[in-house]
Amino acid sequence: MAETLLEVKNLKKYFKTQKGLLHAVDDVSFTVDRGKTLGVVGESGCGKSTAGRTILRLLEPTSGQVFFEGKDIFSLSPQQMRAIRKDMQIIFQDPYASLNPRKTVGEIIGMPLVLNKLIPDPRKREQRVLELMETVGLAERFINTYPHELDGGRRQRIGIARAMAMEPKFIVCDEPVSALDVSIQAQILNLLTTLQKKLGLTYIFITHDLSVVNYFSDDIAVMYLGQLVEKASSERLFEKPMHPYTQALLSAIPVPDIDHKQERILLKGELASPINPKPGCRFAPRCNYVTDKCIGKTPELKEITPGHFVACTLV
């Protein structure tokens, strides 16, 4: 039976800005089952990365709760948090910016082991680093090279090896393949799939690329301006998207098939400002089906069929 590994409840993360409160993540709730992948999609500025980081408490939440294996991690002390971080890791988008340029590959991958005082003996530690490098497909000879000497695909493998060093149960993958060419992107996606199968990992996979997310995820959550607007299994979401935003988003993907004919739903305008948003559906200004009901009251996330959640007054 499916067992919940992570539960996010009414998570909010606001940032203070000169113009007012920026609602980056606004009342988001969802669960992720052990061994599964939840894809989180949305366009730039929708709050998907902030959500990922707040779940790991890399950013302190404004309010809400995150339960990891039943423990409310926002109530933990820094020491307790450090202990639980071993189980919760992150892979960043930009393999160029997320690695210390002055450390060698071996030092970067070994760093979590040093910081957590897991393997004090340097020789044994190096052994473990070599094992990790093998796991992610990095040749042994790179152990003493620096990140700038390697290409983007290999750098992303370092990031994955570093995340794997603590033998985590859960990894937030924040756009892990967006900076890579397609042929390299496929290599990294395959690696993440293999590791998940082998080690029973649970992923949150944050991306703006819908064909990647569909390939990679069991469930997909769609975010718009800080809010979760729809969540369903990948098959269901692609077959029967209910939220007008999800429908437009899916129809906007360019499909590499010349026989593919699809009516494209073109949206008016662009993302509104997330600063001091008014109550009401945040997608309403761009929505093709907007009615008076959409203004004034924020639609709730309703479960319309088992596992399929939609936040739209018209559904």
Interface ranges with other proteins (CB under 8 A): 43-44, 151, 153, 181-187, 189-190, 193, 208, 210-212, 214-216, 234-235, 238, 248-249, 251-258, 260, 264, 266-267, 270-271
Helices (H) and strands (E) in the chain, counts: 9, 12
E strand or H helix that includes residue 90: strand 88-91
Helix (H) or strand (E) holding 53: helix 48-55
Q: What's the closest the beta carbon of residue 184 comes to other proteins, in angstroms?
A: 7
Which amino acid, 116?
Answer: N
Amino acid present at 17: T
Q: Residues with Cβ < 8 Å from 312, sequence gap 6 or more?
A: 229, 230, 242, 243, 244, 281, 299
Cβ closest to other proteins, residue 108 vs residue 179: 179
Q: Does the CA dihedral 11-7-161-118 come out positive or negative?
A: positive
Output the smallest distance, CB 116 to other proteins, in A. Answer: 33
Other Cβ atoms less than 10 A from the Cβ of 203: the count is 24
Q: Which is nearer to other proteins, 1 or 266 (CB)?
A: 266
CA–CA gap between residue 229 and residue 245 (Å, rounded): 8
Residue number with CB closer to other proteins (84 or 192): 192
**Is the CB of 37 or the CB of 313 nearer to other proteins?**
37
CB of 180 to other proteins, least distance (A): 9
What is the rounded (10 degree) CA torsion for 194, 195, 196, 198?
80
CB of 37 to other proteins, least distance (A): 12
Q: Which is nearer to other proteins, 172 or 212 (CB)?
A: 212
Smaller CB distance to other proteins: residue 211 or 276?
211
- The nearer residue to other proteins, 14 or 245, going by C-beta atoms, is 245
**What is the side-by-side strand order in the sheet with 219-224?**
88-91, 170-174, 202-207, 37-41, 219-224, 227-233, 308-310, 302-305
* Min separation Cβ 97 and other proteins, Å: 17
Minimum distance from residue 256 beta carbon to other proteins (Å): 4
- Beta-ladder partners of 169: none
Kindly state the smallest distance separating residue 208's Cβ from other proteins, in Å.
7
Q: What secondary structure letter does DSSP report for 234? A: H
